[in-house]
Amino acid sequence: MKEGPLSYMRKILLACFLILSLQSYAQRYRHSPVIQKGLYFSFNPHSILEPEQGAIGLGIGYRISKKFELWTEANYLYKGFFMDPEQFGKLKGIRSITSFKYYYNNRHGFFVGAEFRIKHYSFNDKNDFANVQLGDTLRNFQYRPVHTLIGGGVFWGKRFKLTANGKFEMEGNIGIGIKQRSIERTGLPAGYTQLLNYPKDRVGPIPDHNEEVELLYFPAIMRFIYHL
């Protein structure tokens, strides 16, 4: 569940793949997209198989005009299929993403936007805790951390139609943002705090799931769109 350099590298590689895919589709579909104003539903197919936290849900958007659009998505979170079965038991939570898009090129469906997201989840974990007053240490103690991440970012993307009438479309976007993690460690005896095995005030910490820090994130998403 660590969001270390390898995790970030995977997201960057996925972003590069999305850019190449969108360029390929842009060359194939040279005609102007059908601009469907009003409500639509969206679905993110690859989030189901995300390695750290699987997510399933639906999005709903509203195309206000040819240029502006509002969108939001809610997801149920669960333990990723590729995680170690001995770790992070009974992971569950929710995620919400809301964004505003501006279409600066309707002829080819290019847009920019800004997003706000919040993630709240919990899981079973084990760690070491100490009570300074009692001089006692609990080793490998099982507890339940509750994580809340709040963040926002900006992104760039493209939408193109999958059918001639524009009812079905696909969009992809990539971006960068920053989020803050806070942790509530539940199930601990009173007076015990977690032992830190890294310098508290170190510069440029590698983000993991035991630190309450600000960290960068790199959204890279492809979604299917159905217009009502």
Could you tell me the two tokens for 92? 């569950």
Say which residue, 209 or 158, is predicted with more confidence. Answer: 158
List pLDDT tens digits, range 61-79: 999 999 999 999 999 999 8
Give the predicted TM-score (pTM) of the model: 0.78
Compute the residue count for the chain. 228
Say how far apart CA 124 and CA 63 lie, in whole Å. Answer: 41
In terms of Cβ atoms closer than 10 Å to its own Cβ (0-12, 13-18, 19+), residue 167 is middle
**pLDDT at position 98, please?**
98
Say which residue, 101 or 107, is predicted with more confidence. Answer: 101
CB distance 205 to 198 below 8 Å: yes
127, pLDDT greater than 70: yes
Q: Which residues contact 171 (CB under 8 A, 6 or more apart)?
A: 42, 109, 157, 158, 159, 160, 222, 223, 225
**pLDDT at position 196, please?**
66
pLDDT band of 20, cuts 50, 70, 90: low
**pLDDT at position 88, please?**
76
DSSP states along 80-149: -TTS-TTSSEEEEEEEEEEEEEEEEETTTTEEEEEEEEEEEEEEEEEEEEEETTTTEEEEEEEEEEEEEE
List pLDDT tens digits, range 198-215: 544 444 444 456 777 788
58, pLDDT greater than 80: yes
**pLDDT at position 84, please?**
67
Average pLDDT over residues 14-32: 55
52, pLDDT greater than 80: no
4, pLDDT greater than 50: no
Q: By C-alpha distance, which of 118, 101, 77, 122 is closest to 217?
A: 118
**pLDDT at position 6, please?**
47
Find the range with the poorest average confidence among 11-15, 48-52, 120-124, 129-133.
11-15
Could you tell me the two tokens for 115? 């997003």
In 3-state terms, what secondary structure has residue 54? strand
Say which residue, 26 or 212, is predicted with more confidence. Answer: 212
1, pLDDT greater than 50: no
Averaged confidence pLDDT in the chain: 82
Residue type, 83: M
152, pLDDT greater than 90: yes
**pLDDT at position 71, please?**
97
Which domains are delineated in the chain?
Answer: 5-119+148-185+215-227 (2.40.160)
Say how far apart CA 196 and CA 37 lie, in whole Å. Answer: 52
